[in-house]
Chains A and B, each alone.
Chain A
Amino acid sequence: MSSKESCRSELRIAIRQLSDRCLYTASKWAAEQLVGIEQDPAKFTPSNTRFQRGSSSIRRKYRTHEIAATPIAGVSYVATPVMEEDELVDGDFYLLAKSYFDCREYKRAAHVLRDQTGRKSVFLRCYALYLAGEKRKEEEMIELEGPLGKSDSVNRELVSLERELSMLCKNGTIDPFGLYLYGLVLKQKGSENLARTVLVESVNSYPWNWNAWTELRSLCSTIDILNTVNLNSHWMKDFFLASAYQELRMHNESLSKYEYLLGTFGNSNYIQAQIAKAQYSLREFDQVEALFEELMRSDPYRVEDMDMYSNVLYAKESFSALSYLAHRVFMTDKYRPESCCIIGNYYSLKGQHEKSVMYFRRALKLNKNYLSAWTLMGHEFVEMKNTPAAVDAYRRAVDVDPCDYRAWYGLGQAYEMMGMPFYALHYFQKSVFLQPNDSRLWIAMAQCYETEQLRMLDEAIKCYKRAAACNDREAIALYQLAKLHAELGHPEEAASYYKKDLERMEDEEREGPNMVEALLYLARYYKLQDRFEEAEVYCTRLLDYSGPERETAKSLLRGMRSSQSSLPSMDVERFPP
């Protein structure tokens, strides 16, 4: 990793350059990372203490890599020279245009710059045109809502922008920012391959534009594509890879990347949130909660990613924390899809599903492609027993992202609820295909096979086996496997699964009817196998329980004793009177 100081100076210049070009999100991101770089204790200045969170326990937890001043072996970073600005003194027209732009008067800004030839001006003009088109597009989406749904309106500036940018590209007078915009335009027009190469060129020559990286990430939809992309090694590439891995559901790879980045950007909220995201996907809810609590402390007005926090709180059923969070984001910015989602979650937890649906709908109005809102709304409809609506909502989620296994799973569940297990299997298969390491999905599929209508027990056994193989937390699979094998008349398998289940229950110190059942089965099984010693062990354990099983155990013991005593010679030899 290049030294913190060099990162810092690179970022400082980049922030200036980015905000000169009105790439606000990118400069925001860069500034966040700038502040996220840990201060060297030597240069501790009082003005920076605000951002120090040296006491953070979480941070220490993930600080596996010690800060190294020298690059880590094997990784050598290409030093990208910081771009020189071509116009040292900004033109007057540029200044006017930038003020217009800042006031969101895009067309006006573009008009002011119509005859300017400086690179910065050209970029700003194109970017303003692009944004004007986007704004108009969004408005038209509402205006043109037809009887059969929204018609797909397009950004009308794209064509002329593409023409101009491709011309610049051919002349070689395009700068990295222009390339970024060109990539953006190409992507919207659907020429993904070209867009990818253009964006790669852009980030290779100017790596600090996070916008370009995110566009590039959305174009790397498979791991193969990601591997073919030829990127210079720069520390920004690590950010990119980490987030790309996350998109591709390679959560562990992504986590390790982020942990590595924490070495330099120890205080970055962004990284912390991303780590929380990855942990959430790995279902480590406790850690996620801790991370978010920390994040809330350091950045109390944050709305981004907070919907995930609310999901965790929902799963842990912490009413008050969820309501606190909801209140907070509501006060911060109520017209953010995330805020609406959080409030929806809160109402859902309260059991007020109609209200919750209302808020999810609002979230969707704000962002039609807000994936989790569709899925969550589906859950609400399931709760309200409005299965057709649930199915519709889930299907829309799937159409937004065909890799969303939760929505597929929801679809399966909805159909299973309607008594169509065979139909549901299709959906479970889809979800299992996308997330083969989730035992819950396998168990759901197995239960589907097991239903009264299907009774395809062999398939159910296969599914339970997969579930047992991938860390089944609720420990349903082992028990079910044992039961199914017993039912199908495979005593050996049944006994071995009961035994495993028993061991597991002992490990986790759980008691319950399953325990009794397992003990009873094993006692009987070993008795039939004439392995009386084992049988006796299980019987004696059964004696600790009350209920009919105890009596059964007693009679079993009695039976064994009598048969043992009736066994001739052997006993006599071993235990002479």
Chain B
Amino acid sequence: MSGIFKQPGAFAITPHKVSVCILLKIYAPPAQISLPFPFSSVAHHNRLGLFLLSLTKSCDDILEPKLDELIHQLRMMSQNWMSTWIIDQLMTRLSSLSSPDDLFNFFIDIRGILGGPDSGAIEDDQIILDLNSNLGIFLRRCVLAFNLLSFEGVCHLLTNIGIYCKEEFSNCPPYEAPSLDDSSSNLETYSEYENMDLENFVYEKVSEEIEARKEANERIPFHLHVPNTLLSLVDDIDVPVDSASKQSEKVRVASPYGDPSSNMLRDDDPSGAVFLRTNWQVQGYLQEQADIIEKNGGAVSLNGFEIVLRQLRKLAPELHRVHFLSYLNSLSHDDYIAALENLHCYFDYSAGTEGLDFVPPAGSNSFGRYEVALLCLGMMHFHFGHPKLALEVLTEAVRVSQQQSNDTCLAYTLAAISNLLFENGISSTARLIGSSYSLFTSIGISLSVQQQLFVLLRGSLKRAESLKLKRLVASNHLAMAKFDLTHVQRPLLSFGPKASMKLSTCPVNVCKELRLSSHLISDFCNESSAMTIDGAFSTAWLRNLPKPTGSLLLCPENGSGSSSNVSQFCAQPTSIPGSVMQVLGSSYLLRATAWELYGSTPLARINALVHATCFADASSSSDTALAYVKLIQHLAVFKGYKEAFSALKIAEEKFLSVSKSQILLLKLQLLHDHALHRGHLKLAQKLCDELGVLASPVTGVDMNLKTEASLRHARTLLAANQFREAAAVAHSLFCMCYKYNLQVENASVLLLLAEIHKKSGNAVLGLPYALASLSFCQSFNLDLLKASATLTLAELWLSLGSSHATRALNLVHGAFPMILGHGGLELRSRAYIVEAKCYLSDTNFCVFDNYEIVIDSLRQASDELQLLEFHELAAEAFYLMAMVYDKLGQLEKREEAAASFQKHILALQNNKNEDDPLVSVL
């Protein structure tokens, strides 16, 4: 708010700052020529300087370190008598401050180490703190803050310094904590904890949480209601015992001050000196936490971080950004109510005008930035899967940002709306957008929803370009690419019958948009956003303090003693911000998806690989998980299930902390495929139901998941030879896809319908479906799917009678290049079998002359099918093989093939009765 109770200045002098001042005095004693006393080399001297710089900049915690922590760090910094000397000095000088007058003198003294404004006049070699250097400014601020203190303030400072020192001198708690646990409710114990050492508590909490998670994982791989047979399908994600410790290690690194020496219980006197760092550092800390949450929300423990935030809220009630962090925290842990509350709270207090990213508007805009609140709220509803609410809110955001002429927000809102429309399918939202984005209604033309979306995207892209919002431009390009990928472009205005209707997607456009989006990186190469990264450097440097303890320091004459640190200091990550990397990463993911659809598996795989290797650090964990999913799917299709499952295990371990929905989905998919291939229909049905649960609207609507679930349902029914039911499911799925404009899915649904009719023996009925699917594939350039549709078409023709064998053969041969080049194991073997069948049923084909062609194909097919454990098709291949050998009179080989045939048929039949068959295999 525009300021009830606003205080100027944000720098308070604290005991820790006094110690830093003392260290600064040691670093640059007044009137000293060359190296001051304890330092044996320039390198050592510089190292202390770097350390002090880092102390003033680092932003890895909200609280200033206590004296013992500082001493510990000093010891870490250099491990010889020098550090001991420095520590001694520090302690004696601190403890000599016993009256307010000492403090006054100290600060007058301190001023002496600053160079005068005429610093040109000083001699060489003299060590003097430049007035305008980072450390110089810090010192000046300290002096200023002290001079501004009232006498009460000075007294407080003195008492606090006393406490600060006492804590170090007597490391034992002053008295036993009283035990009042007679009525130990949660609340009570909790508030007890509050007084306890915060960090230790957080660690405990975190590691507890991780333990719990681990345990939960051991017991229950996915849903609670999964029957036991399911549990044993894939060996449980066997978390190695040390993974918990690894995790907690990771968290520990996040705030290094909890390290060994501070293990002792600290004074839990509530009056104990707890001081916030400077505003700048706290904001930096919050920013870092926000980044971590964005990247990998699951890794931040809900309660642990909430406790930190609560403390921060207590210490700095006017720092409203805390509420925003709370919101992010609860958002990443799917706590809807808390997220909603905190979001409202943040914007109520600050009107969106607080935080690092805020640039005060040129004119005095008294309105605040409530449109940002709406945008955030909309995104939140989107995240929680309430598309309708989200759309309402975003519509309001559009309106308000138009009113406030906040173009930036408008651009982001439009992008968010188009994103929303993409993700949730488009059906009945026309009214809302129409009313909000008055462009359409004012022209008076009713556009299809798709066209509206297109206009929306274009508008948002243009707006972003004109506002020079680089990231938004890039992500808008990505959205355009997605649109081009999945939608046929029709002209917006078509007059008369002559208007050309080119009914196909344009891969070139997709490619173009993807390229354009990656231009982003070149924009950022030369930029550096100094402030946050500066803090990050210091934090990183402090974190690595204990590392370079090795031999280099033992030879101080070397001069390059701290070179490793210096290089670390300078060669920190590139200046490209994380968000840019993230956008880039998702462009690679989109590329992979595009190639998947277009049917080039190698390219899809390469792009997914690029993402997994280059962008894994920068992008969010769900993106990374997606890349892994793609790679594993690839493995399953090309290498069989064994490899895929072993890869899945690795992925599950890696994404243990992430919400595992994507990985879980993949697992279910793989298991379902596997079960279908091996003929475990009951199991397949169970898995299908699992998928249905995932897709249930309780957790929000995800159209992709929904289609996936019912597609698999239909396939299960088909495998069980329940044709009518399967057709019904597929039909309703088609209707849904049509309603929500999911054209790409339509192609595969149609193909499925064709398959159903083929299997049920109604080849004539199947033909139109196959043809429709083909034309869908053509207009969306889905080459691989097209090949598989062609194959189905060939099978359909073939089943119409041997007179159509040539036609079928021609179709198969036409599709062969695509299938052999890009198809997976199943598709290839199916193609081989169909080819063989075509030859065999062709009346003109002489088996005796050309049997090798047939046998070769069948052998290929059977080999690949065995990898997949696809018993049904494998049996068919062996059966055909046996027949051919029979014709040829090669009895031995015939017997061999027949035996294999028997084996597969038996496997298929036995599986149905066996209880727990997969355990032995996996």
Which residues on A are within 8 Å of B, measured CB to CB?
140, 143-152, 154, 156, 158-159, 162-163, 166, 186, 189-194, 197, 361, 386-389, 391-395, 411, 415, 418-423, 426-427, 453-454
**Shortest beta-carbon distance from A414 to chain B in Å:** 9
* Chain B: CB-nearest residue to A150: B317
Judged by a CB distance under 8 angstroms, whether B374 is at the interface is yes
Q: A388-B368, A392-B349, A426-B340 are in contact. Are A419 and B9 (CB under 8 A)?
A: no
Complex contact A423–B187 (CB within 8 A): no
**Shortest beta-carbon distance from A474 to chain B in Å:** 28
**Shortest beta-carbon distance from A413 to chain B in Å:** 13
A158 to B349, CA, bound (A): 32
Complex contact A147–B279 (CB within 8 A): yes
Q: Please, which residues of chain B bring their CB within 8 A of the CB of A394?
A: 348
Complex contact B180–A191 (CB within 8 A): yes
A92 to B512, CA, bound (A): 96
Complex contact B178–A419 (CB within 8 A): no
A394 to B349, CA, bound (A): 9
Q: Which residues of chain B (405-425) have a CB below 8 Å from chain A?
A: none
* Chain A: CB-nearest residue to B368: A388
- Supply 6 further A-B pairs (C-beta < 8 A) apart from A143-B150, A415-B370: A148-B279, A156-B270, A197-B183, A361-B4, A422-B395, A423-B396
Q: Please, which residues of chain A bring their CB within 8 A of the CB of B182?
A: 194
Judged by a CB distance under 8 angstroms, whether B373 is at the interface is yes
Judged by a CB distance under 8 angstroms, whether B399 is at the interface is yes
A415 to B180, CA, bound (A): 47
Q: Please, which residues of chain B bring their CB within 8 A of the CB of A163?
A: 175, 178
* Chain B: CB-nearest residue to A142: B152
How many residue pairs bridge A and B at CB < 8 Å? Answer: 134
* Chain A: CB-nearest residue to B190: A190
Complex contact A192–B351 (CB within 8 A): no
Partner of B351 from A166, A190, A391, A427 at Cβ < 8 Å:
A391
Q: Please, which residues of chain A bring their CB within 8 A of the CB of B150?
A: 143
Listed A/B pairs (7) with beta-carbon separation below 8 Å: A147-B12, A148-B315, A149-B319, A154-B271, A388-B2, A392-B348, A395-B345
Most buried by B among A158, A192, A420: A420
A421 to B370, CA, bound (A): 12
**Shortest beta-carbon distance from A475 to chain B in Å:** 30
Q: Please, which residues of chain B bring their CB within 8 A of the CB of A149?
A: 5, 7, 316-319
Measured as residues with beta carbon below 8 angstroms from the partner, the interface class of chain B is: 35 or more
Partner of B367 from A192, A194, A197, A388 at Cβ < 8 Å:
A388
Q: Please, which residues of chain A bring their CB within 8 A of the CB of B318?
A: 148-149
Judged by a CB distance under 8 angstroms, whether B456 is at the interface is no
1/0 per residue, CB under 8 A from A, across B2-37: the answer is 101101111110000000000000000000000000
A158 to B318, CA, bound (A): 26
**Shortest beta-carbon distance from A320 to chain B in Å:** 32
Complex contact A193–B188 (CB within 8 A): yes
Complex contact A418–B191 (CB within 8 A): no
Q: A147-B10, A419-B399, A420-B400 are in contact. Are A389 and B2 (CB under 8 A)?
A: yes
A150 to B313, CA, bound (A): 10
A154 to B191, CA, bound (A): 15
* Chain B: CB-nearest residue to A414: B348
Most buried by A among B150, B178, B192, B345: B178
Q: Please, which residues of chain B bring their CB within 8 A of the CB of A189?
A: 191
Complex contact A388–B276 (CB within 8 A): no
Complex contact A147–B180 (CB within 8 A): no
Partner of A453 from B316, B351, B396 at Cβ < 8 Å:
B396
A166 to B175, CA, bound (A): 15
Judged by a CB distance under 8 angstroms, whether B211 is at the interface is no
* Chain B: CB-nearest residue to A166: B178
Q: A154-B270, A391-B1 are in contact. Are A423 and B373 (CB under 8 A)?
A: yes
Partner of B316 from A148, A159, A393 at Cβ < 8 Å:
A148
Complex contact A453–B399 (CB within 8 A): yes
Judged by a CB distance under 8 angstroms, whether B913 is at the interface is no
Judged by a CB distance under 8 angstroms, whether B344 is at the interface is yes
Q: Please, which residues of chain A bring their CB within 8 A of the CB of B178?
A: 162-163, 166
1/0 per residue, CB under 8 A from A, across B728-741: the answer is 00000000000000
Complex contact A418–B400 (CB within 8 A): yes
Q: Please, which residues of chain B bring their CB within 8 A of the CB of A393?
A: 1, 4
* Chain A: CB-nearest residue to B12: A146
A146 to B316, CA, bound (A): 8
Most buried by B among A148, A156, A166, A197: A148
Partner of B188 from A162, A192, A420 at Cβ < 8 Å:
A192
Partner of A147 from B9, B153, B185 at Cβ < 8 Å:
B9
Partner of A190 from B7, B194, B340, B368 at Cβ < 8 Å:
B194
1/0 per residue, CB under 8 A from A, across B323-365: the answer is 0000000000000000010001100110100000000000000
- Which 10 interchain pairs have the tightest Cβ spacing? A149-B318, A392-B1, A148-B316, A190-B191, A395-B348, A147-B10, A149-B317, A388-B368, A388-B351, A143-B152
